[in-house]
Amino acid sequence: MLHYYMTATEIKGYLLDITGRLEKECSVKYRPQGTLEDMLDVIQIIRDDLVVTNGQRELRLLAAGFSIPGVINQTARMIHKIPDIFLLSDTKFFDYAERILGVPIILNNVSRLATIGEKASVYPFIEDFVYFNVSESIGIGMGIIVGNRLVKGGRNYAGEIGQTRFNSEYSFEDYLNGKGHFEFEAGLQTLYSRIEKALQKGGCVTLKKIMAEDEEEAVSLESLEKAAMAGDEDVKEIFDTTLKAWASILINIDLIMNPEVIVLGGRISTENEYILGALQEFIPQDGMFKPEIRLSVLGENAQLIGGIQELKDYVFNNIIVQEVIS
């Protein structure tokens, strides 16, 4: 089986045996400004790299799964609303991928896969669970489990909190045209962009020194946390603006869903202690309204574990069982 993890700048591929064990992996970068055909070529390149062994024997591929940050319409076999990967918005990706790979494919939202993976591996006994998924780029999504069941919604977009109308400075018409969305106001790419502008103006001095010492050319969550904890007030002010936006959404999630646990994941993991501390400071901790917020143990691997589970179920129920019957 193959599992593909689609991100804003690269596609990661994983080869899995029938039990779900990881056999091999690779990743290939692509140009976000390129064409859909370029992206499909990358999918083919990854398949060839993973499936052909020792340059001689081609393994039998049973199915392929894709982890995608968007709304998936299973009936129309289309995907929509992908701020991270504009090339895939409103396309019949099912048909393209099946034609290239020559096997059945399944598409799943990355936040939901990560939710399945994190819950199964870390919180198996939690029945009401929310996974707040932050990508390295723009996207922010959410996976919801209520009564041990994944919630997709009547039209399959439950959890698309990135589409939340967030900035009141924009009119409703602006919002409909893509402005004032939560993920555009509080996504990591927006945070990095604000920090880079401050650096260009001579601010964030401590951050600049940390990046030089660590030989980092680009801003990262880890460097921002180091700078904030080291007392860089410019970084702290900009960083906290984003974290306060996250806190607002998390408070609303808690009041609406009241889950047992809210896990911050995706790009965020147990290494990002500053983020957790700041959120706990911004979110009221008194009285009955006290959400249980934790950092993801698995980080970006959560989507892989969830993807493996979905692929195993699909292959067993739709391929192996049918072959046995035949």
**CB-based contact 311:1 (threshold 8 Å):** yes
pLDDT for res 36: 86
Q: What mean pLDDT value characterizes the chain?
A: 90
Instruction: Indicate whether 173 and 283 sit together in one domain.
Output: yes
Pairing mode of beta strands 71-73, 78-80: antiparallel
**Mean pLDDT along residues 266-270:** 94
Q: Given phi > 0 = left and psi -120 to 50 = alpha, else beta, which region is 231?
A: left
Instruction: Indicate whether 94 and 160 sit together in one domain.
Output: no
pTM over 0.95: no
Instruction: Indicate whether 277 and 141 sit together in one domain.
Output: yes
pLDDT per residue as tens digits for the range 167-178: 888 888 888 777
The pairs formed by 153-156 with CB atoms below 8 angstroms and a separation of 24 or more are: 156/71, 156/72, 156/73, 156/74
Residues 262 and 260: their CA atoms lie apart, in Å, by 7
Instruction: Indicate whether 141 and 214 sit together in one domain.
Output: yes
**For the chain, how many residues are written?**
326
Residues 112 and 130: their CA atoms lie apart, in Å, by 10
Least confident residue range of 21-25, 48-52, 310-314? 48-52
**CB-based contact 182:139 (threshold 8 Å):** no
DSSP string, 97-138: HHHHH-S-EEEEEHHHHHHHHHHHHH-TT-SSEEEEEE-SSS
pLDDT for res 120: 94
Instruction: Indicate whether 238 and 281 sit together in one domain.
Output: yes
**Mean pLDDT along residues 213-226:** 93
**What φ, ψ does residue 76 adopt, rounded to 5°?**
-85, -5
Instruction: Indicate whether 256 and 124 sit together in one domain.
Output: yes
Using DSSP, state whether 78 is helix, strand or coil.
strand
Range of the domain at 152: 113-295
Instruction: Indicate whether 313 and 238 sit together in one domain.
Output: no
Instruction: Indicate whether 117 and 148 sit together in one domain.
Output: yes
pLDDT per residue as tens digits for the range 280-297: 999 876 666 788 999 999
Provide the angle, in degrees to the nearest 10, between the axes of the packed helices 233-257 and 221-229.
110
pLDDT per residue as tens digits for the range 62-91: 999 999 988 888 888 888 877 778 788 888
Instruction: Indicate whether 306 and 290 sit together in one domain.
Output: no
Pairing mode of beta strands 140-146, 293-295: unpaired
Instruction: Indicate whether 15 and 149 sit together in one domain.
Output: no
**Mean pLDDT along residues 236-250:** 95
Instruction: Indicate whether 118 and 196 sit together in one domain.
Output: yes
Instruction: Indicate whether 320 and 282 sit together in one domain.
Output: no
DSSP string, 253-321: HHHHH--SEEEEEET--TT-HHHHHHHHHHS--SSS----EEE-SSTTHHHHHHHHHHHHHHHIIIIIH
CATH of the domain at 31: 3.30.420.40
How many independent structural domains does the chain possess? 2
